[in-house]
Amino acid sequence: MAKASEKDDKKRGAGGAAKAYDASSITVLEGLEPVRKRPGMYIGTTGPDGLHHLIWEIFDNARDEAMGGHANDIEVALLPGGYVRVADNGRGVPVGIHPKTKVSALETIMTTLHAGGKFGGEDSGYKVSGGLHGVGASVVNALSVHTQVIVHKEGGIHVQEYKIGKPVAKVKKIGSTKLNGTIVKFKPDAEIFKEGIEWNWEKIVAHLRQQAYLVKGVRISVIDARALAKVADEDCFYLRDLEGFEAPSLTFYFEGGLKSLVAFHNRHQEPVHKNIFYVDREQDNVAVEVAFQYVDDITPRITAFANNTYNSEGGTHITGFKTALTRGLNTYGRNANILKEKDENFTGDDVLEGITAVVSVKLPEIQFEGQTKAKLGSVEAQGAVATVFGDALGAFLEENPDDARAIVNKVLLALKARKAAKAAKDSVLRKGALEGMTLPGKLADCQTKSAEESELFIVEGDSAGGSSKQGRDRRTQAILPLRGKILNVERARIDRMLASTEIRALVIAMGTAIGDVFDIAKLRYHKIIIATDADVDGAHIRTLLLTLLYRHFRPIIEGGFVYIAQPPLYKITKGKAVAYAYSDKEKESVLKELGVAASEVSENPTEGEEAAPEEEAVAKKPAKANIQRYKGLGEMNPSELWETTMDPARRVLKRVNVEDAEAADRIFDILMGTDVASRKSFIQSNAKYANLDV
């Protein structure tokens, strides 16, 4: 048994007895101390997502004022020094003395957890709220080195400042005003957010644009003033009103609500019908807003919100939507004689193929499944959506016969394709079929049966396959070489996909099956590593593989099982010293460390290239170092491949994750879809970020 430390002995006290566990053992964290002690409990993470969550919390308060009909103009600004400023023309936070805390209501809200105007039901003026149970403003305050709140209310301008959640002074009146509203300015604490205070402009714009669609008729402006030396905002409500003020900005204002959002989502798609379905109605105290449009695609895209909070896993409102959609299209199809007596009914999968839909509900008492709000659990939402959407869908189909026929014919094609593909799917997808199949002959499997230890390297071509098979650790590393570029699965059905030898081999090797019998628990490798060449063809193959995994094996990506290998670009030798460089910058750094000048280097041309005359002249000089340039994994011998790309102790891997599923979905649409103009525009706009080896 290990000997207890001297520190442990002191804890135990005389005679080694354990210190009594009594009332004095309980630590009480007062005020906002719990937030700083465990920030992840309140904002999820102290990384970039948690940092941006601070903006969402303050913005949500302004947005809830707008949802209640008290505000129609919100401005979010990024300021110099890491500050963020949010202004809204709502009612203004109350500044009078709170009867219980005996301090200003503003101070109570900013310094007390679970204090706010969202607990008192409709009497508070917040019939519905998307805020995190009243902890938002106080959490932001606790995690900021400096916060300032300016309130325009009842003819007066009131201000209070805080440092790390504690008031610097009492609320004071500093002037008179004819306006109403609240301005919150804060600077996050770098001691909490150790990865840095770096605001992502695109992320903020995307979030605020989405919120503008969800709260129609509200103007939301976002300003990037970080490049300015200083912003004198003390005497200004909205920064845009400052004389001579110039900074990049965007303003969002949508009267169409979710209808406009569906049009935005489908901007790169070919619509199947002209009119976008839209309904906005209340049922049993639940506000229901739904919009949808079918496009010429096979992938469904359904976005769900509850009280303006995004529900990535759907919930009861989506269940109600799917039920009513399936019932409504079956009824219309039968009545219009598009579905014949011999035809079977549409299934849920049939009616969802190619639909872009947004479903939003707002209800007073809301319940989510879990802390992340990813899934709505409120039972009443299901019935309300089914009733409101079902009734409106029937009317839409009757009033728009051309659209109705186009929609039902689209779904009928999905039904026929499903039936036609059934035999092909059944041969591969039925329960247990994949387990019975032999692993593909080209797969060099590993010895261990433990998925946690196993790695699958997907490599490009027979040459790289041969080197990697010889250089691998046979116990834990499996190799699957692919020949050429796999099928672009963006618009391919499963039966066509499985007719591809390369895709079929990958599906069988992974062991999860695909489609409706996919089972991530049967994944045979917990590291799936894409190892392609560092050229245009390699990048294309990598994109095709990622498209396949994203569309049909997304849980594998979300589970953190997919990686991209980072083989070196250069091998640098000086005498017996050997080093590898993964970029041109790193190559220069290695040469500097080795004390080698550019004129003292011999560079080997890549395969298929001839050295220029001046390069030949340099090569004839006594060289202190030799640089070998790799274009592909096949150019490495087995030992080099092991040292640089396969050895867990030395290799560099990038884990693939999907931080923003909607953004990823749109990018795959553009890159792998049929909209040539959008793809060309995307490539031109992003070319400056590419590192191509042509």
Q: Catalytic residue, from 353, 460, 502, 669: name it.
A: 460
Please state the separation of Cα 58 from the chain's center in Å. Answer: 21
- The whole-angstrom separation of Cα 340 and Cα 354 is 23
Angle between helix axes 401-429 and 316-335 (nearest 10 degrees) is: 110
Task: Please compute Rg for the chain using Cα positions.
Answer: 30
In the block, tokens 């872009």 appear at 356
Write the CB contacts of 287 (distance below 8 Å, at least 6 apart in sequence). Answer: 128, 280, 281, 361, 362, 363
- The whole-angstrom separation of Cα 632 and Cα 112 is 59
Contact 540, 609 (CB under 8 A): no
Buried b (16+ CB within 10 A) or exposed e, 614-631: eeeebeeeebbbbbbbbb
Which residues sit opposite 619 in a β-bridge? Answer: none
Q: Catalytic residue, from 88, 445, 533, 669: name it.
A: 533
- The whole-angstrom separation of Cα 442 and Cα 434 is 17
Segment holding 669, helix H or strand E: helix 661-672
Q: Is 270 a catalytic residue?
A: no
Q: Is 535 a catalytic residue?
A: yes
Sequence letter at residue 490 = E
3-state secondary structure of 488: coil
Q: Is 537 a catalytic residue?
A: yes
Inter-CA distances, 613 with 147, 527, 616, Å:
65, 46, 5
3-state secondary structure of 381: helix
Contact 172, 159 (CB under 8 A): yes
Contact 146, 84 (CB under 8 A): no
> What would the DSSP string read from start to end of 62-120?
HHHHHHTTS--EEEEEE-GGG-EEEEE-SS----SBPTTTSSBHHHHHHHSTT-STTSS
Q: Is 353 a catalytic residue?
A: no
Contact 143, 36 (CB under 8 A): yes
| Beta-sheet pairing, 156-163 with 166-167 | antiparallel
Q: Catalytic residue, from 280, 537, 558, 662: name it.
A: 537
Helix, strand, coil share of the chain (percent; to 5): 40, 20, 40
What letter does residue 18 receive in the DSSP assignment?
P
Q: Catalytic residue, from 535, 558, 615, 665: name it.
A: 535
Active site (catalytic) residues: 460, 533, 535, 537
